[in-house]
Amino acid sequence: MRPSSTAALQAPDTPAPLSRMAGALTLAAMSLGFGVVQLDITIVNTALDSIRSGLGGDVAALQWVVNAYTIAFAAFILTAGALGDRFGARRIFMAGFALFTAASVGCALAPDAGSLIALRGLQGLAAALLVPNSLALLNHAYPDPTARGRAVGIWAAGASLALTAGPFVGGILIALTGWRAIFFVNLPIGLIGLWLAKAYAQETPVHPGRAVDLPGQAAAVIALGALAAAVIEAGVRGWTDSFVMLGVIVALIAAVAFVWQEARAAQPMLPLALFRHPLFARCALVGLLANIAIYGLIFVFSLYFQEINGLSPFATGLAFLPMFGVVFPVNLLAPRIAERVGARVTIALGAALSAVACLALLPIAPGTPYAAMALQLVGLSCGLGLMVPPLTSTLLGSVDRSRSGVAAGVLNATRQSGSVFGVALFGALIGPAGAFMHGLRLSIIISATLMLAAAGVIRWGAPSGAAR
């Protein structure tokens, strides 16, 4: 975006500068909020086989343990961003942190798979409250674009640390005390994050006129839930099953109803006018494509390591450690690369790197030594680490500051919707008996194609007047 346009967009609601200490501790609180959300992605994936052993169920049940979280996350995140704009991002962020912590304790105490799935949905709702409002608070605390870009890089790097620690810590906890301990670990994180946010985060301006779009919210939940149910069950029943076809039809009807509602609502949860800005629209699409690919692969590789190659949860955690560990330094490096070559170029390079890494995984087979796939997995996550900070900062910089909560919600809604679809689709591909390796390779090909498409969309699709 041109500097003159950026200044014009950022004029409203410009906050008073924070002290260096207050800014750093606000950033720490926001990083903990995003980090605990990401932690529960990798730490749960490591525990999937242990959860199945402890509570019973098949691949479809494990998909619901993952997707109950991501469906609620994706479906409610837009409303959560609007709530932050209406009542103050700090207030909603703290409510989300408290709910996430309580739901985590509930997951740890769940007596059966159904209860765990329901509580994972509650965790997802809390995650929806956390993430967009953490970004809104960062956007408020760091009005300077360069400082904001670096703060977002640190915010993303904190989440990368959580992603990295998740498999390793999860494997240790499962080996020592069982899978329930992976949820108790969120308790101290939640308490520290709540204290930091209360003590140091500066509340954003309140816009009491912003309404909550309940019909749009209902349509979003139905569309995502029906689509996930249809795709998950397709792996068991087949794509021509009546239940699967009904789920697809319901999802399509709900999606159309959602768009219709958002087009006519006086205060929609998803202002369609945001997508008139080409850079905003393309950033949202890239987030969707990337998460289908990456988080779908994380799910199937978790099962590949444990079910096909016979690794323990702890060994699986170690297998993911290099993959997630490299994201942290790359997240910190990405904003500086973007300052040199441009944000769109940086995002496209990251997507292309992930695509090449996916294609290099195609020779994988049962019993493939870890050393033969480690470099590819690291390359996959390097690409993601390179994409996320400039993608997030670019999208936030493309809208008025007063809409930052909703804008952050849109990005995370599209990304989490991608996660829902990726886990559902790739899980369905590996679900049929004897089809695991064929489904895994097909998942890899789909992921590579999606990442190449993301590179093209952001690099060559934007108009010439857009920021690099």
351-362 CB burial, b ≥16 within 10 A, e <16: bbbbbbbbbbbe
With tokens 């007047």, the residue in question is 465
Residue 317 C-beta-side C-alpha neighbours within 13 Å: 27
Separation between Cα atoms, residue 366 and residue 305, nearest integer Å: 9
pLDDT tens, per residue, the chain with 468 residues:
333 333 333 334 455 555 667 777 888 888 888 888 888 877 887 888 788 887 876 677 888 888 888 888 877 877 887 788 788 888 899 999 999 999 999 999 998 888 999 999 999 999 989 988 888 888 777 777 777 777 877 887 777 677 667 777 888 888 888 889 999 989 999 999 899 988 877 787 777 666 677 888 888 889 888 888 888 787 777 778 888 899 999 999 999 999 999 888 877 777 788 888 888 888 889 999 999 998 889 888 988 998 889 888 888 878 888 887 787 788 888 888 988 888 889 999 999 999 999 999 999 999 999 999 999 999 998 998 899 888 888 887 777 766 666 777 678 778 878 887 888 888 888 866 568 899 999 999 999 999 999 999 987 755 544 555
Residues sharing a CB contact under 8 Å with residue 109, sequence separation 6 or more, in sequence order: 180
Residues sharing a CB contact under 8 Å with residue 257, sequence separation 6 or more, in sequence order: 219
The distance of Cα 37 from the centroid of its chain, to the nearest Å, equals 8
Separation between Cα atoms, residue 425 and residue 420, nearest integer Å: 8
What is 142-160 written as a DSSP string? --SHHHHHHHHHHHHHHHH
Q: Which DSSP helix (H) or strand (E) runs through 89?
A: helix 89-108
The distance of Cα 447 from the centroid of its chain, to the nearest Å, equals 16
Closest CA to 108 of 168, 165, 190, 31: 190
Helix (H, G, I), strand (E, B) or coil at 429: helix
